Amino acid sequence: MLLLMAIVIFRPDRHNLRDTGRIRDIQYMYYGVLRRVLECEYATGDAAQLYESLVRKLEELKHLKEGLVRIFYGFDSRQLNPLIKELFDMM
């Protein structure tokens, strides 16, 4: 679970980032660690399937977040808590 959170946190497509290349490299490192952990815990074929499934789920969560952001854009974003703004990339 912590590896998945790290992959989400180190997304290079976030707004207002200074060094997206470095952040992308860090995210790729976490993807690699996730793959290796799964390979240690599961048979090779199962690990590859599970890895691909988790990557797809992360993409689905990203699209879900984008939908929620569109809903929140209907509200006055100045009234939102700064943490909420950061979570939804509304800054």
pLDDT at site 88: 66
pLDDT at site 90: 43
Measured CA to CA, the distance from residue 59 to residue 64 in angstroms comes to 9
Nearest 5°: phi and psi at 71? -65, -45
The vertex-42 CA angle with 40 and 45, nearest 5°, equals 115
Q: What is the CA radius of gyration of the chain?
A: 16
Task: Please give the sequence-ordered ranges of beta strands (E in DSSP) within 22-72, or none if there are none.
Answer: none
pTM beyond cutoff 0.85: no
pLDDT at site 13: 85
In this structure, the chain runs to a length of 91
Answer whether 27's CB lies under 8 Å from 11's CB: yes
pLDDT at site 77: 64
DSSP 8-state secondary structure symbol assigned to residue 42: S
List pLDDT tens digits, range 31-86.
Answer: 999 999 999 999 989 999 999 999 999 999 888 887 887 777 776 666 677 777 77
